[in-house]
């Protein structure tokens, strides 16, 4: 797993999510945004990861952080997945891979003589000003949510500087 503290502006984007939410990053300035990318709905690791984020959702809200799960699954698939797990946050459908490319989470792999692009489990923390302040790449499912919460706790305590 790699994590890094960064300070760079994230280009504004618009995305569609479950519950008929249309997300525009520039309109999320009253709180931090955590985007977590996961490979596919209904796979064992992705179920565990989404359940872990769901179990800690209230803590994220207390830390002024709105979370969104993102995969290349369709919006219809996301709606079913969200309902089946009773997720308290929305899922973004990135079927055209625009956000995957923006955050560079697609990795080429050769499989059966063809190049396929797998989605790397990664998370990105964006502050209220649209600045990427932390990223985690190739994250393991176990303990990742708690690593993110630890960073948020540090931010709240002032131990980590807040990007201006």
Q: How far apart are CA 38 and CA 4, in angstroms?
A: 19
Catalytic residue chosen out of the listed positions 17, 46, 63, 132 = 46
The CA distances from residue 162 to 28, 52, 82, 150, in Å, are 17, 26, 32, 15
Confirm whether 100 is a catalytic residue: no
Angle, nearest 10°, between helix axes 144-157 and 44-55? 30
Tokens of 12: 């504004």
The CA distances from residue 110 to 61, 98, 115, in Å, are 40, 22, 4
Q: How far apart are CA 6 and CA 10, in angstroms?
A: 11
At residue 19, the 3 state secondary structure works out as: coil
Q: How far apart are CA 33 and CA 152, in angstroms?
A: 11
Tokens of 2: 């790699």
- Would you name the residues annotated as active-site residues? 46
């Amino acid at each position: 797993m790699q994590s890094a503290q960064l300070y760079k502006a994230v280009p504004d984007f618009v995305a569609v999510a479950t519950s008929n939410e249309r997300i525009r990053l520039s309109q999320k300035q009253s709180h931090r945004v955590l985007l977590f990318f996961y490979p596919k709905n209904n796979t064992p690791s992705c179920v565990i990861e989404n359940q872990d984020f769901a179990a800690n959702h209230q803590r994220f809200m207390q830390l002024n952080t709105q979370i969104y799960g993102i995969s290349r699954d369709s919006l219809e698939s996301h709606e079913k997945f969200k309902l089946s797990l009773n997720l308290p946050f929305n899922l973004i459908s990135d079927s055209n891979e625009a956000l995957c490319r923006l955050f560079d989470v697609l990795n080429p792999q050769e499989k059966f003589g063809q190049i396929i692009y797998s989605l790397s489990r990664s998370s990105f923390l964006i502050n209220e000003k649209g600045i990427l302040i932390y990223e985690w790449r190739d994250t393991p499912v176990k303990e990742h949510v708690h690593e993110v919460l630890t960073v948020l706790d540090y931010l709240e305590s002032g131990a980590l500087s807040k990007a201006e």
